[in-house]
Chain A
Amino acid sequence: MANSVSDEQLIQWYHKGNTEAFEQLYSRYKNAIYHYFYRQVASKGIADELHQDVWLNIIKSSSSFTGQSSFKTWLYKIAHNKLVDHYRRESKQPLYLIQGSLQDSEPESERESANVPDSDPGTLLQEQQLSLALLDGISSLPEEQKEVFLLHEKSGLTLQEIATITDNSFESTKSRLRYAVKKLRQYMAQHLAVEL
């Protein structure tokens, strides 16, 4: 199936019984959605569970997609609601309060496999340190700022789309992102003495 087909067209095709359309959609967003959960909850098990819940919800309610918003916005809205439900269910404190435990809970393989280009060992080590420091910095962000940053950075959503997904105003969303970026710069400067 051609990649030029829009997400909205694919979900409609799937609603009519075309399973290949769903597979195409899934391949487009599976990593982004999983990343969104994984960075938020910092637990592979919970990320797996939330990831499955979202996609099973998409399968079940594909007919409820009306096309008023983009499929991407609809998908992340469902993901956002799942995350909120999870926090409510767990009555969990924002993860930035458990910064220290994040390093312990993250898979060692991921820490070792920071996606850095092959270059000289010095540069490689520096990039790895920067990536790990940034991940730590992200995990230390307040929940709402972290979500806005992750949605903007990894999912490629615009501020307006993020505002729609999180049920916030555009200005509020922009403000949250501004604070997130500022805190990450400060975190990097404090921990690695790196000026971004």
Chain B
Amino acid sequence: MNDKQEEEFFTQYLQGTSRLSEIYQNTDTPEPSDKINQHIIAEARKAAARKKAINSSWLAKPGSWAATIAIVSLVGLLTLNTWQKEQDELQRPLRETLAPQAPLAEEESGSPVESRFEIKEKKDSRKLIFKSAPAPVLQKAQKKSLSGRVGSGLSTEDIETVKTLADQPLPASSENYSDLSQEPGKLEDAFSSEQQQLLKIKQLLENKQLEEARQLLTQFRKKYPHYPIDPVILRHLSP
């Protein structure tokens, strides 16, 4: 066979008209068994059923995905918010502890520092007043005596009234007190004497010995004309 014949035969073969093709087409064509065919078809049906199940599930729906993302985001934000609040609660006591030690911190420690200075000024001014007059010592003594009398039958209203009177500044020109202020021992004796007299008046009132109480009050007023008297006593003994 020369090359020309070969080329002609190959051209025939490509056109499908060669004897070679004819013989080959007559050969038996092996086929897959029915078992294999059934197996493959069954697998195809199973795969299709799985696809349908997946497509019909909520995961395959865009709306479901959007809702899921929204819920997860919301839960995440809430969790973060709660966590931040907890952190703030945990750090607050620490800040409150540290704040007085950091006066240069403007936002947190500004106003407390000012108020502390104000208080200091007031205290200083009171000291000045105390030095010029003995009244504050008297006030202190009176407060003590009054607070000690809470359980002695006075009403809360009466106590408040007495406190108000006690807070009022006493005249600095009082001779008695200015004299007493120069001698602390005498001052204490005087206070105890005045208190004792007032207590006695009070006891007489409680015992309903009004005349005696009134006489004692008159004497007390003559002796201590500027000494504040319990309004309860005044109310009961005033003419």
Contacts and interface: CB of A to CB of B under 8 A. Distances in A.
A and B: bona fide binding partners: yes
Contact of B24 (A30, A51, A134): A134
- Chain A interface SS verdict (over half): helix
B26 A127 contact: yes
A185 B52 CA distance: 53
B29 interface: yes
Interface in B14-46: 18-21, 23-33, 36-37, 39-41, 43-45
A116 B31 contact: no
B133 to A, nearest CB: 103
A137 to B, nearest CB: 9
Contacts of B172: none
A134 B20 contact: yes
Interface of A: 14, 17-19, 22-23, 26, 30-31, 34-35, 38, 44, 47-48, 51-52, 55-56, 59-60, 110, 113-117, 127, 130-131, 134-135, 138, 153-154, 178, 181-182, 184-186, 188, 196
B9 interface: yes
A53 to B, nearest CB: 10
Contact of A185 (B1, B29, B31, B51): B1
B47 interface: yes
B31 A31 contact: yes
A14 B52 CA distance: 11
Across the A-B interface, give the 9 residue pairs with the lowest CB-CB distance, nearest first. Answer: A22-B44, A131-B27, A38-B30, A34-B32, A196-B19, A55-B40, A17-B48, A19-B45, A130-B23
Contacts of A30: 31-32, 37
Nearest to B20: A196
A17 B52 contact: yes
Interface residues of B, number: 33
A113 B20 contact: no
B30 A131 contact: no
B15 to A, nearest CB: 12
25 contacts: A14-B44, A19-B45, A19-B48, A23-B44, A26-B40, A30-B37, A34-B32, A38-B30, A48-B32, A51-B32, A56-B40, A60-B47, A110-B28, A110-B30, A113-B28, A116-B26, A127-B26, A130-B23, A131-B23, A131-B24, A134-B20, A134-B27, A135-B27, A181-B20, A182-B10
Contact of A17 (B32, B43, B51): B51
A26 B45 CA distance: 13
A196 B9 contact: yes
B20 A51 contact: no
Nearest to A47: B30
Contact of A115 (B6, B21, B28): B28
A186 to B, nearest CB: 8
Contacts of B33: 48
A130 B19 CA distance: 11
B83 interface: no
B36 A52 contact: yes
Given A17-B55, A23-B41, 12 more contacts: A34-B30, A34-B31, A34-B32, A35-B30, A48-B33, A55-B40, A130-B26, A134-B20, A138-B24, A181-B9, A181-B18, A184-B20
Nearest to A156: B16
B13 interface: yes
A153 B21 contact: yes
A154 B29 contact: yes
